[in-house]
Amino acid sequence: MTDGTGTGARRGAGKDARAGTGAGADTGPTAGRGAGRDRKAGPDKATATAAATATATATGREALERLYRPRLTGKSGRLEVWYATLTDPRTGTGVWIHHEVVAPADGGPPRPHGWISVFPADGRPPVTERFGPESPGDTLPVADSPPPYYTSPEVHASSSLLAGTAGSIRWRLGVVEGGGAPLYTFPRWAWRTGLLPAAQIVPAPDARFYGSIEVAGEKMELAGARGGISRIAGHGNAKRWAWLHADLGGGDVLEIVAAVARRPGMRLLPPLPLLRLRLGGRDWPRDPLLAAPRFTANIGLPDWTVTGRAGRRRLRVEVSQDPADCVALSYTDPDGATATCTNSERASAEIVTERRTGSRWRTEHRWSLDHTAHAEVGERP
């Protein structure tokens, strides 16, 4: 996770269904001519509405695709990351596919590389395979319409398809967005301007994945695996950090990035938690950076927590990363410094929100994610 910084029970929801038709019984010739004019105008109006809808859809699609595109190409001392995390609801298997481009601070050529980790639910240890510029392999044949944000001889990644081969693992996964808008864990301006040391965004917070993953010849078919695709862009990894992606069901999701910056004067500060909770299509808190000082993160392994309040709501999050369901990988920053990331796509989380009514706090929502949360803790030597 950069410097600058699931499945669960859900409340019931009702949907209103409204239907109504009206008809006049006017039988005169004038009414007949009016009806004729209406019939002629109907198709024109429908065509205009369809055209406007198509234009809006295309505009929204283009805006979403821009969130995936590489934005730091050619800039030394920068790090850019795309990562997908998902849980197969049938088997409980977790998957982490991480793509990144490191542009060294010394001006050396950018290094595109990454890895895939598969976390079985049957007691077997997780398996990780790396891919990168030094990996051998033939050009990967891919038929995909959106332009890829990451491509190499072994790996292809776009907003609609994740495919590749690395060591004993092969994968090909179609990505279907759940319909929710991108989730800005950092403020929108931070992502758009790049003024902070780094920023994170979740273009597809409630994605569904379809396809197959093969590990050492054992093939697993996925149909509706739940997860998300996130992005990071900045100058490097934090000094310490914790990250959580929690799919709460029905399009609701919680994303947390809590970090201590590496910059002088900031290294001794406590972790600053930036978070976004989406409930019923509404994101809280309104400004995650302004609300961050009102939250506290206690980062450690195997357990860590985030607590705090903003406005009339308060939040308590308890995350557990079982060592048997974790992988520990080394990260390298553009300046050559290293960090160790301990990741689990089979983490557990208890999430509670409360609302203040008068002088009392009342439980609003409670979610228990049993090995379906996606979490990570990063530390320096």
CA nearest to 5, candidates 304, 275, 228, 340: 275
φ, ψ dihedrals at 233, nearest 5°: -145, 130
Q: Which residue has the tokens 């776009």?
A: 158
CA nearest to 283, candidates 306, 318, 310: 310
SS3 at position 295 = strand
The predicted structure's pLDDT at residue 195: 87
Phi-psi region of 334 (alpha: psi -120 to 50; beta: other; left: phi over 0): alpha
CB-CB contact of 317 with 298 (8 Å): no
Rg (CA), the chain: 24
Q: Which residue has the tokens 């008809």?
A: 23
Q: How far apart are the first and last CA of the chain?
A: 16
CB-CB contact of 284 with 298 (8 Å): no
* Whole-prediction pTM: 0.83
The whole-angstrom separation of Cα 140 and Cα 121 is 30
| DSSP label of 152 | -
Give the other-Cβ count within 10 Å of 42's Cβ.
10
Task: Tell me the pLDDT of the chain (381 aa) as tens digits.
Answer: 756 544 443 444 444 433 333 333 444 434 444 444 444 445 676 665 555 545 545 566 788 899 999 887 768 999 999 999 999 999 999 999 999 999 999 999 999 999 999 999 999 999 999 998 755 444 465 666 788 999 888 999 999 999 999 999 999 999 999 889 999 999 999 999 988 889 999 999 999 999 999 999 999 999 999 999 999 999 999 999 999 999 999 999 999 999 998 877 777 789 999 999 999 999 999 999 999 999 999 999 999 999 999 999 999 999 999 999 999 999 999 999 999 999 999 999 999 999 999 999 999 999 999 999 999 999 998
Residue type, 288: P
